Amino acid sequence: MDWFLQSGNESDVILTSKITLARNISGIKFAPKMTKQEKVNVYNKMKEITPSIGYGLKFLDLKNIPLIDRQCLAEKHIISKNFADGKFPESALIINDDENIAIKVNGENHIEIIGIAAGLELSNLMNLLIEIDQKLETFIPYSYSEKYGYLTSNPTDVGTGMRAYVYVHLPAIEITGNIRNLSNMVSNLSLSLKGVYGETNKIEGDIYRISNNQTLGVTEKEIIKNLNIISNKVCQQERTARKFLTKNSIELEDSVYRSYGILTNARKVGLFESLELLSDVKLGVDLGIITEINDKKVKELYLYTKSAHMANYIKADKKLSETEEEIARSKVIKQILSKED
């Protein structure tokens, strides 16, 4: 999980970059209509070729990965919640130890190649995934149309099969009421701005996901170029809004320190409450207002206050009730804040 705790390019605003490539094997029906034997064939073929792919990737039957660990991967947006919950039979995950490269097997498509990194790293991720994709294609024939491009189970992914994402922290744009204007600007470039759970309103501590809508009629480089352009504009707008907020410094300082005070002293903290509080604290740390903790510690708090990661952190031996989880979260927060780097 090193990548999650690192600071990347523009990481005061851009938390994470992610790219996925949806691929299917020629001659096999798409996922919704596959027979069990076809799923087994895809599973066995991917298991067979995994040692030849390289990149430190290991083949894991999804059923053999503990549920809590699959949920941790979903919390870091590496795999979907549905995939983590084991809703796809004969599925597997090919993943490296750093958890920044993965290949889903028998999910929404036969294969989905995933790359993820801290900060703004879209171009590097694209180059890495295309390299892996080309290597895979030497072992398996892809379902491909000269007219349309890569064929996928979801028609909206046909073409490049690429979905590119940046997860952005926009507290100042939220506070100044400019999120709708930003959403309109994003949509003009055939991109979308959503909450991380697919909602249009803020839902996880002022964190939004920007992604491409178009996969057909554009190249991978054009998708990444547009997303890089909008990412840089979003960074500029968020930083401008933050500069505006600092003009009333005492109000901003009071707000971020109130959130810091609740985090450090509360006896129980809910998940979404902690994300809202952490949003203020991260803003305070990024602006140099809160000096008691650093950016790495903020990242640890974001990671280990999520339900599955928190359960792993405290080595919970049973499912916690909502109240037990809130009490445990407050203790984890105190432990992280008090430990030396």
pTM to 2 decimals?
Answer: 0.93
Tell which of 210, 242, 274 closes a domain.
Answer: 242
Query: Per the structure block, which two tokens stand in for 178?
Result: 């400019």
Contact between 73 and 82 (Cβ < 8 Å) = no
Do 85 and 213 reside in the same domain of the chain? yes
Report pLDDT for 46: 97
Domain holding 78, by residue range, is: 2-242
Do 93 and 226 reside in the same domain of the chain? yes
* 320/306 Cα distance (integer angstroms): 13
Do 100 and 149 reside in the same domain of the chain? yes
Whether the pLDDT of residue 124 is over 70: the answer is yes
Do 174 and 255 reside in the same domain of the chain? no
Query: Per the structure block, which two tokens stand in for 44?
Result: 């066995």
C-alpha distances in Å from residue 93, one per residue of 154, 155, 220, 264:
20, 24, 24, 38
Kind plus residue range of the DSSP H or E element containing 61: strand 58-61
What is the DSSP pairing of strand 162-169 with strand 101-105?
unpaired
Report pLDDT for 316: 86
Counting Cβ atoms within 10 Å, is residue 106 exposed (0-12), middle (13-18) or buried (19+)? Answer: buried
Do 88 and 178 reside in the same domain of the chain? yes
Whether the pLDDT of residue 48 is over 60: the answer is yes
Do 21 and 138 reside in the same domain of the chain? yes
> How many CB atoms sit inside 10 A of residue 154's CB?
14
**For residue 43, how many C-alpha atoms fall within 13 Å in the half-sphere facing its CB?**
19
Do 181 and 80 reside in the same domain of the chain? yes
Whether the pLDDT of residue 197 is over 80: the answer is no
**Confidence band for 62, pLDDT divided at 50, 70 and 90:** very high
Tell which of 242, 273, 308 closes a domain.
Answer: 242
Query: Per the structure block, which two tokens stand in for 151?
Result: 């064929």
CATH of the domain at 116: 3.30.590.10
Do 47 and 132 reside in the same domain of the chain? yes
Do 211 and 272 reside in the same domain of the chain? no
User: Domains in the chain: how many in total?
Assistant: 2
- Sign, Cα dihedral of 128, 130, 131, 137: positive
The tens digit of pLDDT for each residue in 86-95 reads 888 899 999 9
More confident call, 68 vs 4: 68
Strand order in the sheet with 191-195: 58-61, 92-95, 101-105, 111-118, 14-23, 162-169, 207-212, 191-195
Do 161 and 36 reside in the same domain of the chain? yes
Do 233 and 276 reside in the same domain of the chain? no
Do 172 and 264 reside in the same domain of the chain? no
The tens digit of pLDDT for each residue in 210-222 reads 999 989 999 999 9
Counting Cβ atoms within 10 Å, is residue 321 exposed (0-12), middle (13-18) or buried (19+)? Answer: exposed
Tell which of 221, 242, 263 closes a domain.
Answer: 242
